[in-house]
Structure 1
Amino acid sequence: MASPKDIVLNGTMSTLPSCTYSEDFKRYLLPAVYSMVFILGLPLNFTVILRIWRSRKALTRNTVYMLNLAMADFLYVCSLPLLIYNYASHDYWPFGEPACKLVRFQFYSNLHCSIMFLTCISFHRYLGICHPLATWHKSGGRRFAWMVCGAVWAVVFALCAPTFRFAATGTQRNRTVCYDLSEPSLSEKYFPYGMALTCLGFLVPFLAIVACYCRMACVLCQGRGMGGAGAIPAAQEKKDKAARMIIIVVAVFAISFLPFHLTKTAYLLVRTLQGAPCEVRNMYSIIYKSTRPFASMNSVLDPILFYFTQTKFRNSTRSLVLRITTLRDKGSAV
């Protein structure tokens, strides 16, 4: 949504051309997607947290990263009811500016926490596959993993803290709204921060993951060609787990992270261009805001990563399903 705004640039006053965005699609798309993420993400992430906590005495570094990833997702999912109400009510925000700032911070902190923890998980798996005999990466154990997680939370908080400055409420079409990125008058000031957040919070981890996965793929392909039927079951299970992780993490990036950051970058560029036609700004706004809810899909996809990379959890889930099926069949036979 945009309207005529006076912007102070280098001490001078300039006026953006009048432009009203057509955003009726948000009333239908965003509540539907956010409702699905809330309904699925809340129990899935709570189950992951509970499962890991119950086996906390046998935590590995990988499960420590998974636990922190699930905690970040769970905190974000808890904020979704406010957004569901907001978009279902034509962008009306009755919850006040502090809640607006917190919800926007929750979104970006979850997004970049997910990226960072997936990077940690990927790098940990890379070391196990590509450098299995090295001892330097095995030292420290869980304590080292918790230190890494603490550093990730601190870095993400520092990266996303400016959200509390830029996110704000305002008045559009005689109703209170909660701006997504920043007020229109702060578009130019937000641009360098938005680009820095994308580069540091997405591009750098993404390139690191790509480099790890390319190397892992080479090792896994070589291992399959040389191992054959005589491969050690434990070693083969480790490689299969790594292959599943690669597929799921790539899916998370393909669905959630990559489209969102590409469209966000394009939208930021167009939004700061002086004299950009209203039709162009409206088009890029629609494209960006259509991918934004899918960035929250990682809160549903991350628990799937835990399921497919944790053999004990997968086996216990299968046993539970089989027991339920058996009891149901017995009840039907009576």
Structure 2
Amino acid sequence: SENSSSIISEDFKRILLPAVYTIVFLLGIPLNAAVILKIWRKRPNLSRNNIYMLNLAVADFLYVMSLPLLIYNYASHDYWPFGEFACKMVRFQFYSNLHGSILFLTCISVQRYLGICYPLSVWHKQGGRRMAWCICGGVWLVVSILCAPTFYFAATGQQRNRTVCYDLSTPTRSLDYYPYGMTLTCLGFLLPFIGVMVCYCRMAQILCRPVSYQGVSITPGEKRDRAVRMIIIVAAVFCISFLPFHLTKSMYLVVRTLPEAPCTMRNLFSVIYKSTRPFASMNSFLDPILFYFTQPRYRQSTRRFLVRVTTLRDRGTSV
């Protein structure tokens, strides 16, 4: 939401955002709850990968729980009746989930990179699980610190005689928000993205070699396939969910701080940025799909469950 004096129609938000957020809510709640329950049931013997997946699912679940307020907000022409604190909290949940997901996916990628490229390293011998929990605690702390300024910048305000909840900052704080917004993008997206891509390029080199290369046995069969699937899915999540959002957000931050930029240009970039926001929320149901495709036992148990349901249904129809 921007100054009421120079607004390009944002009616698309009234249809696009509630529709996408409703789909994300309806898919994200059961999918992330299923991942959390599935992993938690095996907590005495959790792998490092599953520890990161559990934290990722918790971050997604907390975010998805905040969506009903945003669905109401955008369906009501940006009207925000829930008060200042709820506005700040919802914006904090969005950005903490977004950057938490990015960092947990980075942890999963680095973990798989070490497993593929350095299978005999000390990391794989002792203390791995405890270290993974410490890293997850560190991620939550870093995300909380990175996103804490959201409580200062996000605020309610009056626009066209109704209360709105500003996403980044109020228009009067645009210049103040700019350095923080760009820092958040660099530390919370750009650096992890570069790290993930470097890991994947190196993993792709290893996985494309023959099963035995220069006398060294390379990861065979199912493990290799699982690693390839993870590379494809995580790269897809970054490219679909995170890259368009951060790219358009950075462009919008630059344009809205230019004093000579016409109002129409500012609002055009605002519309472009806001139209990528639904993509950023999609990771909340794409992440459980990552878990499904990289966990053979989970796929098998889900398959057995679906076969059982189909069999019971067929019996019911044949009676």
Q: TM-score, normalised by structure 1?
A: 0.92
Contact 2:7 2:264 in 1 (8 A): no
Give the residue type in structure 2 aligned to 1:187: S
1:238 maps to what in 2?
Answer: 223
Give the residue type in structure 2 aligned to 1:303: P
1:216 maps to what in 2?
Answer: 203
CA distance in 2: counterparts of 1:277 and 1:30, whole angstroms: 26
CA distance in 1: counterparts of 2:232 and 2:7, whole angstroms: 41
Matched, 1:201 2:188: yes
Contact 2:245 2:273 in 1 (8 A): yes
Matched, 1:93 2:80: yes
Matched, 1:258 2:258: no
Q: Tell me the alpha carbon deviations over residues 210-235 of structure 1, each in whole angstroms, 9 at most, x when there is no partner.
A: 000000001000045869xxx99x83
- CA displacement at 1:137 relative to structure 2: 4.6
Give the residue type in structure 1 aligned to 2:315: K
Contact 1:92 1:175 in 2 (8 A): yes
Give the residue type in structure 1 aligned to 2:288: P
- CA displacement at 1:206 relative to structure 2: 0.3
Matched, 1:277 2:262: yes
| Backbone CA RMSD of aligned residues | 1.6
Pairing 1:49-68 to 2, within 5 Å after superposition: 49-68=36-55
CA distance in 2: counterparts of 1:62 and 1:111, whole angstroms: 19
Q: 1:43 aligns with which of 30, 41, 46?
A: 30
1:325 maps to what in 2?
Answer: 310
Q: Tell me the alpha carbon deviations over residues 40-80 of structure 1, each in whole angstroms, 9 at most, x when there is no partner.
A: 00010000001111111220111000000000000000000
Q: After TM superposition, what 4+ stretches of structure 1 lie above 6 angstroms from structure 2?
A: none
Distance 1:223 1:139, change over 3 A: farther
1:2 maps to what in 2?
Answer: 2
Q: Tell me the alpha carbon deviations over residues 171-208 of structure 1, each in whole angstroms, 9 at most, x when there is no partner.
A: 00000000010000000000000000000000000000
1:292 maps to what in 2?
Answer: 277
Give the residue type in structure 2 aligned to 1:27: R
Q: 2:71 aligns with which of 80, 84, 88?
A: 84
CA distance in 2: counterparts of 1:202 and 1:73, whole angstroms: 17
Q: Secondary structure at the match of 2:80?
A: coil
Percent sequence identity is: 70
1:248 maps to what in 2?
Answer: 233
Give the residue type in structure 2 aligned to 1:208: G
Pairing 1:102-251 to 2, within 5 Å after superposition: 102-223=89-210, 235-251=220-236
- CA displacement at 1:3 relative to structure 2: 2.5
CA distance in 2: counterparts of 1:139 and 1:123, whole angstroms: 17
CA distance in 2: counterparts of 1:224 and 1:311, whole angstroms: 21
CA distance in 2: counterparts of 1:284 and 1:225, whole angstroms: 52
Contact 1:109 1:157 in 2 (8 A): yes
Q: Tell me the alpha carbon deviations over residues 122-170 of structure 1, each in whole angstroms, 9 at most, x when there is no partner.
A: 0000000011122245431211110000000000000000000000000
1:30 maps to what in 2?
Answer: 17
CA distance in 2: counterparts of 1:80 and 1:136, whole angstroms: 38
Give the residue type in structure 2 aligned to 1:39: L
Q: Secondary structure at the match of 1:92?
A: coil
CA distance in 1: counterparts of 2:165 and 2:146, whole angstroms: 21
Q: Which runs of 5+ in 2 are unaligned?
A: none
2:62 maps to what in 1?
Answer: 75
2:299 maps to what in 1?
Answer: 314
Q: Which runs of 5+ in 1 are unaligned?
A: 5-17
Give the residue type in structure 2 aligned to 1:295: A
Contact 1:92 1:177 in 2 (8 A): yes
Contact 1:2 1:21 in 2 (8 A): no
CA distance in 2: counterparts of 1:180 and 1:325, whole angstroms: 45
CA distance in 1: counterparts of 2:210 and 2:82, whole angstroms: 56
Q: Secondary structure at the match of 1:23?
A: coil
2:289 maps to what in 1?
Answer: 304
- Once the two structures are overlaid, the 10-residue window that deviates more, 48-57 or 65-74, is 48-57
